[in-house]
Amino acid sequence: MSRRFVVAGNFKMNLLAGEASALAAELRAALEAEPPACEVILAPVFTSIHAVREALQGSPIALAAQNVHFESSGAFTGEVGAGFLADAGCTHVIVGHSERRQLFGERDADVREKAKAALDAGLTPIVCVGETLSEREAGQAEAIVLGQVASSLEGVDPQRVILAYEPVWAIGTGRTASPEDAQEMHAAIRSSLLASIRDKVRILYGGSVKPDNAEALLGQPDVDGALVGGASLKTESFLPIIRAAKH
């Protein structure tokens, strides 16, 4: 079963609009010169979405937001609903990133509502799951992650989302899951999905993906791409990761 690879750059709270659009333009030029074998998605800060959209106009590079509110509109000061993201040119949105879960108290129920809101607005949610270091050390990694997958996707068709496994202890730390550990978890996640659809669902790995480990991670049979934070902020580190995603 061939699943098209996806490489997504999560800029987090980095890069002003001019910087983000300059990076997008640089990536665009490089990918136009040599088209990638994978789908490429950029997720800038909300306020940079417009500028990045302009830089990407007419290119196959897709645009994502990093968060979404689950209500579509109304008295929710400071929030952004999925329809607004679609209106701004986004086709994808990251939901349930571990920083949202850990720093902003998002629970699986919130993630689920956000994923549903995204789908209702025609966006593809990139649904993140992952265990903490203490959960891994306690031998609970798989139970925690499979629980997050089941609960975050309750009532959601997994074929309509992109999943991202991001062990919390690997995010921004320079520590990466070994390709074998990543594969083991990706295979477990896939097996937890309905047999009739599991081969169609793309599961990205995230957590300190860098040019020097991308090929080994992306070479695992159940790793279908990467969600990249720090290394997505510069063309010289992001491009080799995109190039390592070969189908």
Give burial (CB, 10 Å; 0-12/13-18/19+) of 191: exposed
Cα radius of gyration (the chain) = 17
Among 97, 99, 135, 186, the one annotated catalytic: 97
162 makes contact with ligand PGA (CB under 6 A): no
36 makes contact with ligand PGA (CB under 6 A): no
- Closest distance to ligand PGA from the beta carbon of 144 (Å): 17
What stretches of 88-229 adopt beta strand conformation (E)? 92-95, 124-129, 162-165, 203-206, 225-228
Whole-angstrom Cα distance, residue 173 to residue 71?
33
Q: Is residue 97 flagged as an active site residue?
A: yes
* Among 172, 180, 191, 219, contact with ligand PGA (rule: CB under 6 A): 172
Determine the size of the site formed for ligand PGA (CB under 6 A): 13
Region binding ligand PGA by CB under 6 A among candidate stretches 52-60, 64-72, 135-143, 227-235: 227-235
Region binding ligand PGA by CB under 6 A among candidate stretches 73-81, 136-144, 177-185, 207-215: 207-215
Whole-angstrom Cα distance, residue 145 to residue 211?
26
Q: Is residue 166 flagged as an active site residue?
A: yes
* Among 125, 158, 206, 225, contact with ligand PGA (rule: CB under 6 A): 206
* Among 230, 239, 243, 244, contact with ligand PGA (rule: CB under 6 A): 230
Distance of CA 167 to the CA centre of its chain: 13
Helix (H, G, I), strand (E, B) or coil at 181: helix
Q: Which residue(s) pair with 165 in the sheet?
A: 129, 205
Contact (Cβ atoms closer than 8 angstroms) between residue 186 and residue 223: yes
* Among 67, 183, 208, 213, contact with ligand PGA (rule: CB under 6 A): 208
* Active site (catalytic) residues: 97, 166
Where do contacts with ligand PGA occur on this chain (CB under 6 A)?
10, 166, 171-172, 206-209, 227-231
